[in-house]
Structure 1
Amino acid sequence: MSKKLAVLFRHIRSDPNPDEHVDLFEHRDTQWRPFFTNPFVPAESSTADETQTVPLPALPALPHRPNSSVSEKEDPEIKGANGGIQNTSNESYDVAVGKQAPEWLNLFYDLAWTASFANITSSYSFNSEWDALTYTVLFALTWWMWASQVFYSIDFYTDDWAHLISILLQLVIFGGLSAVTRDIDISNYITHLPGVSGFEEIQTETLTPKVYMARKMAQPLFERIALIVALSRLLLFVQYAIVIFWATRTSKPKRCPRRLLEVPISLFISTALFFTAYGTTKYRGDEKLWAIGKFVLWALGFLVEIVAHVRRLHYQVSGPIRLKAHGSIRNRFNTITTIIMGEGINAIAGTLYSIQKSPGFTKTMAVSIVCCAVIIFGLVYLYYQGSAPSEKPVRRRAAWALVHWPWLLSVILLLSAVKNQLLLVNFINSAGYITDVNYQIFTTNMTDAEFNHTFGNILLESGSTLDDQLKKYTDLISQNITDSNNTNLSTEAEDEIWSVWYYRMQLESVLNIYTSFMSNDSISDELQNTITRYQYDYDYAYQDVANPLEAGIWEEVVWGLMKPSVQNTRYIMVLCGATLWSLATLNLIQSWPRDRFQWYSIVSRYGTGLCMMLLLFLNFGKYKTYFPPYDAPKSERTGVINWMDARWVLPTLAIIYGVQIIVDAILLYISVRLSRRSRQSMVTRQGDDPNKND
């Protein structure tokens, strides 16, 4: 045993031996990093130490404006005789050369951003225009924080402790942003005071806890957002300041190239603007003018940065310095797209567990679930299988990257709308099933035992019990006897009490289904007051009994529950069209079409997107409610409500993406067939050439 232990621990006092343990030495060598590293190498000395730098032909120059007149023969993907990438004026700056950042570090940074993004997404149900606008602003803010850091990393990242610490600080920033962006409403102090619908002041005695917390947190949250974003800009500015230091030190004339100064200057300006926004929000943020002003400052800050980054990504700095390495934005943006798709899939999948427990689960719901899968697959397939070669480096990388913002935003909003539509269809099916079965139970002759069994089971499915409803019915009778000072009730009075109880029972069943599967936050205070009054005010509920053909209050409550989700349906076709337009634009920017089939694919995506947007005309109609007047046909409702009521929203979207996939597949098949035929003809002609061996 002692010999075995000696063998196991024989190297406990051994010195490192790089000749014997080469793999261990190489592993440690890659792990070792200094605190700071120069991202540049002087052009004159770039070949002096081949072990420290990438060979000169593969070293990317700082970005310049490509010469569009250069022919495809000068494509930077074509390797030179020395095996490096040719240094032409039309070099593609999306080619990854030199030592890259570790994959785990890039993924860690992307996941840190995703945590903030996912928290923002989960905070909003997108049931109103202001919800969507608030999310758009917050997503633009967080997305640019991520993208601007990626733009820095692909050019200037070096494997040192300074950059590792910066990633750690950004994790803290994204974590802080995640904490302060929950339930933010950008319309606060602009269209209303926090927690209420207008600018009317509420006395302290009448404040509810909900309104009090909204008042207390609204302004501080905006302060913290501005401060966190300002700190993120300051951190990025410090990183660029270090780059300027190394550029000045490395350059032979000891002068920083002018183009390198544009982004740091823009960051200095944006940092000042965000700190100004923080100050104005802190001291005067509850005034309407300054509440609007803070968003103007935010927009100006990011606009200055975007312009500077676009210029830097398109222009080159002339000077005797070159980058040691260069990364690819294509891989980073593909990764973040995959992560966002995963978040959307997770959100939709999370609803399936509750949906399968819903009463009245029918074929319609099964079809809707299949349609969700087709929509997600269509988005993924059309993004990764575009007409432009996916492995080809991106030429117009600034434009390509910026178009990802509307693409990703439309994808997130679309998947959220799809999830809400799935829940809405489930609610309509379940509520319709419960109310229909209840009606059948009370209009069918059955024994008491059969009634108790059947009605008890349906009440359990809707979240109530037979004993509870029986108690409410007997309480109504007792209350009526007490109020009328009679010991016995007339037949008319009994029928009236039963009708009031029946309407309340139906509404309670529908409400239980709604709160089980939908977002409770979408129930407004006004609607909640109506529901409470209906359940406890006998005379108020009796209005539906007196007008049984209309049942106005009951229908008003049910429509109030549905209305926020229907808002998603009104614009879901626009989101679908926006995804197709974004995909077409991405393909057009990545690679300009070189034959008619590539043009056909891009134009077909624009055309399909336009067709979906034309469905906006479905919002026109006489009645913009789910329940038209009793004497009016349902066909006079707006087209979008009839479209939704027919359960055709999700199938339409699935068909659109399926058709686009089929169109792309047909174009691909025909183009490949013609290409192979052309190549075969060329080979045949070369074989018939009598001078081919001369």
Structure 2
Amino acid sequence: MATRPNHPEWTSSSTGGPYINELTYSPKAESPELTSPGSAHSPDAKLTATSSPAKDPVTNPTREPSAVRQRPPSYRRNPNPADTELVAKRFNQWRRFSRDPYKPPLTSSSQPQGEGEELTQRSPRRVRYPGSGWTHLFYDLAWTATFATLAENGEFDEPMDYVSYFVFFAAALWLWASQTLYTVHFYTNDWFHLISIFLQLLIYGGLAATTKGYEITTYISHLPGVDNLNPDPPSNGEEELERFAAERTALLSAQAMALAFALTRFIHLAQYLRAYYYGRWGNGVPERKYVPWGRIIIDVVHPHVYAIVTGLIVSNGIFFAVVGIVFEAFAITKVGASLKLGLWVLGFSVEVFSHLWYPLLCRVGFFRDPTSDELKRVRTITIAQGTRADNTAKGKGAADPKHQTANNGIGTNPLPLAGLMLGERLDTVTTIILGEGINKFAGTLTSILTAPGVKRAVAVNVVSAAFIIWFIAYLYFEGPIIESNLDEGLRRLIWMVTYLPFLASIFLLLVGIKNQFILTSTLSMANRAFENFLDLLGRTGFLDDPSNPTYESNSELKRFLFARGMVWSNEYKSLMEGADQLSSQGWLDRVTAWVMRLSLTMIINPYKTISGEDIPEEVQTRLNAYNQNDTLPILDFANINDPSKMEFYAILTELLNGSIEGARYLLIFAAGIPLCLGLQSIIHSPPRDRYQWGVIASRLLMGLILALLLLLNLGRYQEFYIAPVLKHERARVFNWLEANWILPTIALAYGVLFIVELVLAYLAKRATLAAKTKAVRDSTATTTLFVAGTGVLEPVENGTVDEKQNEDQYEAEAEADAVAVDPDTGRSEIVEQPVTRDRNNSGRLLSSPGQRSSNPPGDSRVSPPPPMLGRKEEV
């Protein structure tokens, strides 16, 4: 409806819009003609749809006020600006290409006058347009795929395989950590960041798809597909083809990794150059005409940004140099591969040092960090005196930042905060890695459950694995530290570094659990295959007369071999072929060799199904010789009591060598988890009482105990299959492995730690209640009273405080404590509430008459009055 200045108009008496049944007539401005007493156009005149006012020639020259339009359907309705949530959603979706992260948050029009300005003064570092949270979760999932795929495709047969994986995991974790540290400060809701995240998702996807051939020592200590630098020439075309495929895969993996590292570093450099530009020339910074060129690094752009930009420029040159190396023939030489690895280590080291440079200088006192408590207090005092000490200062009223901070103080343009907490991101990544690890052995478990004769061993391992995962999650999320967020500084970076061994230990432990499932199942089948098959042949009478043709259709023998991936009729025909031409001794040797071969095949076939992998070439060669030469199985039967002399067990040892070696060193990762958790708690913040120290000490002690179990690897004989008379000289870890006690031991260790922490939590709670009770009893010496109005002291009959009766009261008070959030760091601090107590040593809370109580109904306590209502009087 069109209106004119100084003229009345019809307005709605509701906030729902113009489509209503009641209208209110209000003038635009007072005038003698419109507001004269008794006039029909007086401001007090209110008209409804039932009244019949005179026509207004300005606002409604042709329609009566009672003629109200009907509300149109929603698909024809214009946006309602009063719908604040939808308006905010629209503005967030139609984002700009780039936004200034240094702009302070806008004052809210819905706040009372003065509150918006106070919020801006208290939160000068908050980003005005923080980004959406879903992009961070999506980024974390894509990043997890990089090392998860490597763990799925990689072979953990040797200790060097674990070292290679750990190095790759460290590089991948730094890609995530550096991006997260940037996101904490500079991530804004714009297309620049959405596009940069999308490009990194593509890079991570390509990296995940091409890491199959990655190994840190390729072309340094061995060539792809072989175990040395000078292998023998291939004996046949198939072996030559396999070496060619391994070389192609290794070269593709190296090229993909080099490109991925270089491109992610280039995108990261572009992000920080954008932050540098807005810090120097953006509209969100204050006027700095006073800044001399000699102090531009300190007073204009934050030194931390300068250091990181410098480090990224250097590292970009290094990583792109590696790209030039891997696409040349020089890359497949020993010198080229060593140079490539050295440059990668140097590039990542430069970036890490660039992040540590500013915190280290702050630690030695060269810089004064504005997030410190002292400078926060200075800024608070400055604001209270009517000046501005933050980056919201504008115009003539802005104070000179040179007079607000000490020398080398970073107070003119501090790093912004994007509303994202580093601790929350680390919690999310830890949860994703736990879930990814569970997914790794969940698929394997499906195949294991269908394997014959392994139910008992698998059941113990599954229960143990479930407890291990649960205890890890509990110990991490229910740790002794109060909060997960830290101020910027050296402590936060060191705390973040401890997540490298922690997360790597979790993931490698879960990979080891998967291999332990495979190993336990295979060993269970190997221990019973020969005995069970012989027992079945004896029960069916097959050994008495194998030539009886009725055995070819025996249902019990069919089912037994079907469960192990074999067809009984085919195996029986192979036994009977040419049997009539053999002597009695020859027939006996054939039956012996046939039984031994079937027993070995009963182990190999389920192993391939469970592991999902093909038999290695070396193992397959020995297996073919065993199946074609009757001498080997016959000799094995002769040495049935000495497994160390049997080719049967030599083939199994070579097949399971990787899983056996991994089981021997699985305790390294199991011990690393509680050790890292204990160190994280100490680095995060100093323990405040003996109970926090108790939790930390228990974690460190349990980690050391698990690490000491590695001494079980000591022994004269380092073979799994050995003569029974020599087992007492074998490394004890093999006895432990043979008894299927590795995973139960880890689960029991974590369970003991879980119980210890529960007991300490209970004792800490009781000690806290006792301390609160003692504080109430001791309050009779000096009690602070807030005198407001006609406040009175209420007498209490019982002058004692019963700890048991007041436990619920103390818990309620603890939950109701006011929490103040520091706008610069996002950390929460408990605010002490003023409490008025009586003189009778009772601890009852009192307040002035007329004050509204915040206690639940039936509670005789009265809430204390606000501190501004009166003065303090010492009694």
- TM-score bucket (shorter structure): 0.7 to 0.9
| Alignment match, 2:622 | 530
Q: Cα distance 1:690–1:457, how it changes in 2: closer, same or farther (>3 A)?
A: closer
1:123 and 2:225 correspond: no
**Amino acid aligned to 2:512:** A
Is contact 2:92-2:189 (8 Å) kept?
Answer: no
Is contact 2:322-2:340 (8 Å) kept?
Answer: yes
In 1, distance between residues paired with 2:444 and 2:510? Answer: 12
2:321 corresponds, among 276, 282, 286, to: 276
Q: Cα distance 1:205–1:641, how it changes in 2: closer, same or farther (>3 A)?
A: closer
Larger CA deviation: 540-549 vs 496-505: 540-549
Deviations 1:9-45 (A, max 9, x none): 84555543313x44322321333321111111489x9
1:17 and 2:80 correspond: yes
| Alignment match, 1:227 | 259
Shift of 1:172: 1.1
1:309 corresponds, among 328, 349, 355, to: 355
Q: Cα distance 1:298–1:392, how it changes in 2: closer, same or farther (>3 A)?
A: closer
1:433 and 2:496 correspond: no
| Alignment match, 2:677 | 583
User: What TM-score do you get using the length of structure 1 for normalisation?
Assistant: 0.86
Identity of aligned residues (%): 31
In 1, distance between residues paired with 2:648 and 2:117? Answer: 77
| Alignment match, 1:638 | 731
**Amino acid aligned to 1:471:** K
In 2, distance between residues paired with 1:585 and 1:527? Answer: 44
Shift of 1:127: 2.6
In 2, distance between residues paired with 1:324 and 1:560? Answer: 58
**Amino acid aligned to 2:319:** F
Shift of 1:471: 2.0
1:661 and 2:754 correspond: yes
2:687 corresponds, among 589, 593, 602, to: 593
Shift of 1:454: 2.9
Structure 2 segments unaligned to the other structure (5+ residues)? 1-69, 108-112, 363-368, 370-408, 543-547, 785-837, 840-874
Q: Cα distance 1:350–1:390, how it changes in 2: closer, same or farther (>3 A)?
A: farther
| Alignment match, 2:791 | none
2:436 corresponds, among 340, 343, 352, to: 343
User: What TM-score do you get using the length of structure 2 for normalisation?
Assistant: 0.69
SS in 1 for 2:648: helix
| Alignment match, 2:710 | 616
Deviations 1:518-574 (A, max 9, x none): 2535x4322211001111233444433454444521110111122210111111111
Deviations 1:599-631 (A, max 9, x none): 12111111111111111111112222222136x
Deviations 1:386-418 (A, max 9, x none): 111136646732111111111000111111111
Superposed, 1:167-566 pairs within 5 Å as: 167-198=197-228, 199-200=230-231, 202=233, 206=237, 207-249=239-281, 250=285, 252=288, 253=291, 255-283=300-328, 284-312=330-358, 315=362, 316=369, 318-326=410-418, 327-390=420-483, 393=486, 396-444=491-539, 446=541, 452-475=554-577, 477=578, 488-520=581-613, 523-545=615-637, 547-550=639-642, 552-566=646-660
In 1, distance between residues paired with 2:625 and 2:462? Answer: 37
Q: CA RMSD in A?
A: 2.9
In 2, distance between residues paired with 1:114 and 1:499? Answer: 51
Larger CA deviation: 101-110 vs 404-413: 101-110
Q: Cα distance 1:432–1:545, how it changes in 2: closer, same or farther (>3 A)?
A: closer
In 2, distance between residues paired with 1:690 and 1:333? Answer: 45
Highest CA radius of gyration, 1 or 2? 2
In 1, distance between residues paired with 2:776 and 2:90? Answer: 53
In 1, distance between residues paired with 2:760 and 2:254? Answer: 50
Shift of 1:684: 2.0
SS in 2 for 1:600: helix
SS in 1 for 2:349: helix
Is contact 2:150-2:208 (8 Å) kept?
Answer: yes
Q: Cα distance 1:324–1:591, how it changes in 2: closer, same or farther (>3 A)?
A: closer
Shift of 1:324: 4.6
Shift of 1:420: 1.0
Shift of 1:339: 0.4
1:683 and 2:776 correspond: yes
Deviations 1:151-203 (A, max 9, x none): 00101111111111111111111112112212322221112111122222636
Q: Cα distance 1:240–1:13, how it changes in 2: closer, same or farther (>3 A)?
A: same
| Alignment match, 2:53 | none
2:98 corresponds, among 23, 36, 54, to: 36
Deviations 1:398-457 (A, max 9, x none): 111111111000111111111111221122123333322112123446477789333222
**Amino acid aligned to 1:524:** P
| Alignment match, 2:29 | none
In 2, distance between residues paired with 1:272 and 1:661? Answer: 49
Is contact 1:41-1:321 (8 Å) kept?
Answer: no
Is contact 1:555-1:627 (8 Å) kept?
Answer: yes
Is contact 1:260-1:312 (8 Å) kept?
Answer: no
**Amino acid aligned to 1:216:** R
Deviations 1:247-267 (A, max 9, x none): 111362474343321101111
Structure 1 segments unaligned to the other structure (5+ residues)? 1-6, 61-95, 479-486
In 1, distance between residues paired with 2:203 and 2:259? Answer: 10
In 1, distance between residues paired with 2:575 and 2:565? Answer: 17
1:56 corresponds, among 116, 121, 132, to: 121
Is contact 1:220-1:282 (8 Å) kept?
Answer: no
**Amino acid aligned to 1:275:** F
Shift of 1:313: 5.6
In 1, distance between residues paired with 2:118 and 2:279? Answer: 16
| Alignment match, 2:854 | none
Deviations 1:226-284 (A, max 9, x none): 12111110110011111111111136247434332110111111111111122222221
**Amino acid aligned to 1:123:** N
In 2, distance between residues paired with 1:390 and 1:658? Answer: 24
1:133 and 2:195 correspond: no
Q: Cα distance 1:672–1:42, how it changes in 2: closer, same or farther (>3 A)?
A: closer
Is contact 2:518-2:607 (8 Å) kept?
Answer: no
| Alignment match, 1:152 | 182
**Amino acid aligned to 1:378:** F
In 1, distance between residues paired with 2:673 and 2:448? Answer: 27
